[in-house]
Structure 1
Amino acid sequence: MQDNPAFTFVLFGGTGDLSMRKILPGLYAAHRTDKLHADGKIICVAREVMDTNAFVESVRSRATGYLKQPADAAWDSFLQRIEYLTIDAFALAGYAPLAQRLHEAQGICVFYLATAPALFEPICNHLAASGIDLTQARVVLEKPLGTDLTSSRKINDAVARVFAENQIYRIDHYLGKESVQNLMALRFANSLFEPLWRRESIAHVQLTIAEELGVEGRGEFYDATGALRDMVQNHLLQLLCMVAMEPPTSLDADAVRDEKLRVLRALKPLTQQDVEQNAVRGQYASGAVRGSPVAGYLDEPGIKPGSHTETFVALHAQINNWRWAGVPFFLRTGKRLPQRSAEIVITFRPVPHAILPLPAGLAGEGANRLVIKLQPDESIQLHCLAKQPGDGMHLQPVVLDLALDKVSPRHRAEAYERLLVDAIRGNLALFVRRDEQEAAWKWVAPLLTAWDNASLPPKSYSAGTWGPASSSALLYRAGFTWPEES
């Protein structure tokens, strides 16, 4: 891994929404903080016919609003790195100008495929056939990589015919979040938590990714995907791995990913009974989010009449290993929920013998919990009990809050910025390995099969609520509640 290598970054799908919202702003943030080599070039590729000047003006108008930093002189110098090439991904002849540019370029080459997965195979095949030296190149793959284990393997096999596994960077932007990185530091750098990070001290774990938005013009894509494929198979299971994995022997990429893989393989396989009793799927109906009325899922553009696609999932998972045996893990994600948030809640067991009266309305369960907030604000909160000022021994809940943006005022890298820089530097630790991905698909396979073949529709919930009532019942049966219900 090199700290700051010369590079050429080739962005397929350069005119797309993802490129304008995330990738180019992420590269600009890295440019602004001197994380990119001065000679690094960005070649944006798409089908649209235009020259570089026209494309750069398009970037100014479309991407500027997504920048986290000022669009000042640094923005102008960043745009000078950009070149645009018109290439039809399916036409080999169109790759000749790209091959010529890369033949003249210095340093490593990163190909970022911000395209539909159906284009991954032709792009990789044509890169190889065009005479480009790929021995030191890297390829970054955006999700979704397939819709099930079979289709995922087909895509990975196609890419693997051109690139070795250590050249393939499967991106999951949640792994690039500062708070997720802090989770590793919290666990593995503090003797305070490591003795408690096990079944003897932890009652249960909750992982939530909530979205206020609906399908936002992506109805046709989302209706063929659903929340299970879009969020659970990748983001939520990756977060679960970060919480539950054993300490790796080092921060080497494969050492970290080996431990995540062990968690995925230790997940208790889902039976038909689990699908019926420990899994909830919902679909939002009309309602109101932050006081504004919104349409139901079936009334969104691009949604098939009577669609059974889920927009909400809640699961009760178990990890069958020595550390976590008997500890329930609850996973939840949904669209059109009351707020945008992502958090991990680790609830510790109550003290074995309470000698002090608890505050009214506060059960012993949940008095001590660790809350790791991933978005919109990143923080780590430790909830505990302390004495109220005054006479008598009366307890009150208090929160020790580590607001990460206040603790460290220096520039805090956004997820895409961190991951893009890691791809350029050759650091695979925050990217998903193929065997990880396949283990995740295997675990969700019984749910995919059951829900794809289900005759009954998902449970309905009003937009602006926390999902169907059966989500609350899922926890209630285990003796717990979601945070907003406590």
Structure 2
Amino acid sequence: MSRIKNPPPANIVIFGGKGDLAWRKLIPAFYNLYIGGFLPKNFAIYGVHYEKQDEKWYESYMLEGINTFSRSGKAKPKEWKAFAQNLYYFEGDFTADDTFRRLGETLDANDKKWRNRAVRLFYYSVSPKFIDDISIGLSKYDLAANVSLDRIVVEKPFGSDLQSAKDLNKLLLAKFKEKQIYRIDHYLGKETVQNLMAFRFANIFFESLWNHNYIEHVQITVAENIGVGSRGNYYETAGALRDMIQNHLFQLLCVTAMEPPVTTDAEEIRNKKVDVLKAVRPFNKDNIQSNAIRGQYGEGKVNGKTQQAYRKEKNVNPKSDVETYAALKLYIDNWRWQGVPFYLRTGKSLQKASSVIAIQFKQVPLCVFKPNAIPDRRPNQLIISIQPEMETTLVFQAKEPGVEMKIKPVEMDFTYHDNYDTAVPEAYETLLLDVLEGDAALFMRADQVEQAWKVVMPVIDNWAATTEKFPNYNAGSWGPKAADELIKADGFDWILLPEAKQPAIKKKTKK
């Protein structure tokens, strides 16, 4: 979608404006949008927090965040001075009427000064317990009454199960219209994820093969090499399935498996994503044990450093049964994907941080070459690395130079670093600009959130009712043995790197 020229003025309000997300991500993102020329001429950013703070202290603190985390490096004094003139600290209790009364007066005064009704972006960078109070305050004082110009951005977690997600949607939709609500998942703002749609729908040779006739299976991996750190309180109520698979990995699943949209209209794209989740074959008591694996890390070494067991992390129950690793095998029951297994996995304290979508194609129907000519009959693979590398690799067979017919896997790479001089924007930059422009294509709709919860609830309920012997994998490994057995049972191996040392794919033994 083309960016709007001469965008209207904008009032940006960050509830939790002194918090870690604002410091590390939001303010650096807005700053980069500003120096890139994407913010309107007239704008104001208000960081709302209950503590009394000096305005100069707030500016200094946010500058520290930009200098530490911004992709553009340390702020240039002239650019920072110009940006900081539009940055304000707003003292206010989220639960107090006076906060919203004063905030309304401030935003109205800006509209009058700019002689234009500004876009209003309200970012909920807060604990879920404050969503109700903030929504009531905004509604009571008509701060977000303009359906076309006023937007609400809600961070995950969006509910902790299906019922809480329904309750949260009901709460928000009682105060705002669906088109005003932007449920943000930063994974969809990543450049490589967006490029997957370009690969699929702008190139006939990819999309022509993108179905069960040619694809044998699909893997989606989001691996982290760090433990839970200081997030023990949160993780004890979430776990890997809720924290990562229900949102991040399902978003990647939807982009990978969706049908081609008719247009790039936000609702058209979101309809196609919801269709994917509706087509996921339901889990039941007969297939959960064989298709859903969980794990929890014990002590080990990651990058040469000792990592303590999850149960010894801060604010974690010493007998915790919370999973830090989850792997699912899914089927999407529609014409395009019938019979193609999708393997999803994520975990903490794994050997390497890596986010990868791997498409493995079927073998050629008849290999005319002798076994000694093609010792590694690896199928073609399309490997899309989201992070830390940003590259797409196509693995195919080719003849080695020489007088003999010797065939081996080779790689064709597309990397951002080698092909573009332009700096890659952070995910939050892309998504925040979309909110300002009213483009919801990369944001979750209420029905998509609820459908994602419907898929995982049987697994959540089953795991809550059964016990697992934890810990069952060492920190610094690739997870529990059962996860390897899950995929090996179908004759496959987990794919991370398209390197020659990658194990050859064995012949599939069963569907």
* Paired residue secondary structure (1:193): helix
| Aligned pair partner of 2:331 in 318, 328, 339 | 318
Cα deviation code 1:382-420 (max 9, x no counterpart):
011111011111112111100023212113221110000
Whole-Å separation in 1 of the counterparts to 2:443 and 2:136: 23
Map of 1:40 onto structure 2: 43
Residues 404 and 421 of structure 1, relative CA distance in 2, 3 Å threshold: same
Whole-Å separation in 1 of the counterparts to 2:15 and 2:168: 17
Cα deviation code 1:7-62 (max 9, x no counterpart):
01100111111111111111111111101012111111111211322211121234
Is the 8 Å Cα contact of residues 388 and 395 (structure 1) preserved in structure 2? yes
| Aligned pair partner of 2:277 in 264, 268, 272 | 264
| Aligned pair partner of 1:187 in 186, 190, 200 | 200
Map of 2:465 onto structure 1: 453
Map of 2:425 onto structure 1: 413
Map of 1:111 onto structure 2: 122
* Paired residue secondary structure (1:320): coil
Whole-Å separation in 2 of the counterparts to 1:191 and 1:2: 29
Residues 411 and 455 of structure 1, relative CA distance in 2, 3 Å threshold: closer
Whole-Å separation in 2 of the counterparts to 1:358 and 1:299: 52
Structure 2: segments with no counterpart, 5+ residues: 112-117, 497-501, 504-511
Equivalent residues in 2 for 1:76-475 (5 A)?
Answer: 76-106=81-111, 107-135=118-146, 136-357=149-370, 363-364=376-377, 366-458=378-470, 460-475=472-487
> 55-64 or 110-119, which moves further after superposition?
55-64
* Paired residue secondary structure (1:272): coil
Map of 2:60 onto structure 1: 57
Q: Which amino acid aligns with 1:188?
A: F
Is the 8 Å Cα contact of residues 12 and 122 (structure 2) preserved in structure 1? yes
Is the 8 Å Cα contact of residues 472 and 482 (structure 1) preserved in structure 2? yes
Q: Which amino acid aligns with 1:227?
A: A
Is the 8 Å Cα contact of residues 384 and 392 (structure 2) preserved in structure 1? yes
Whole-Å separation in 1 of the counterparts to 2:201 and 2:388: 25
> 410-419 or 277-286, which moves further after superposition?
410-419
Residues 360 and 276 of structure 1, relative CA distance in 2, 3 Å threshold: farther
- Please state if 1:7 is matched with 2:20: no
Is the 8 Å Cα contact of residues 349 and 475 (structure 2) preserved in structure 1? yes
The Cα of 1:2 is off from its aligned counterpart by 4.4
Whole-Å separation in 2 of the counterparts to 1:239 and 1:119: 29
The Cα of 1:361 is off from its aligned counterpart by 9.4
Whole-Å separation in 1 of the counterparts to 2:435 and 2:11: 12
Whole-Å separation in 1 of the counterparts to 2:180 and 2:252: 23
Map of 2:115 onto structure 1: none
The Cα of 1:63 is off from its aligned counterpart by 3.9
C-alpha RMSD of the superposition = 1.5
* Paired residue secondary structure (1:124): helix
* Paired residue secondary structure (1:61): helix
* Paired residue secondary structure (1:56): helix
Is the 8 Å Cα contact of residues 287 and 463 (structure 1) preserved in structure 2? yes
Structure 1: segments with no counterpart, 5+ residues: none
The Cα of 1:233 is off from its aligned counterpart by 0.4
Q: Which amino acid aligns with 1:104?
A: A
Is the 8 Å Cα contact of residues 103 and 132 (structure 1) preserved in structure 2? no
Q: Which amino acid aligns with 2:8?
A: P
* Paired residue secondary structure (2:357): strand
Residues 358 and 185 of structure 1, relative CA distance in 2, 3 Å threshold: farther
Is the 8 Å Cα contact of residues 279 and 315 (structure 1) preserved in structure 2? yes
State the TM-score, normalized to the length of structure 2.
0.92
Is the 8 Å Cα contact of residues 51 and 85 (structure 1) preserved in structure 2? no
Whole-Å separation in 2 of the counterparts to 1:359 and 1:373: 32
Whole-Å separation in 2 of the counterparts to 1:249 and 1:139: 27
Whole-Å separation in 1 of the counterparts to 2:8 and 2:386: 30
Whole-Å separation in 1 of the counterparts to 2:373 and 2:155: 49
> 51-60 or 204-213, which moves further after superposition?
51-60
The Cα of 1:290 is off from its aligned counterpart by 0.5
Whole-Å separation in 2 of the counterparts to 1:194 and 1:459: 42
Cα deviation code 1:222-272 (max 9, x no counterpart):
111100000000010110010111001100000000000110000000011
Q: How many residue pairs are counted as aligned between the two chains?
A: 485
Aligned residues with identical type, % of pairs: 39
* Paired residue secondary structure (2:431): helix
State the TM-score, normalized to the length of structure 1.
0.97
Whole-Å separation in 2 of the counterparts to 1:86 and 1:453: 45
Whole-Å separation in 2 of the counterparts to 1:329 and 1:133: 41
Whole-Å separation in 1 of the counterparts to 2:304 and 2:349: 12
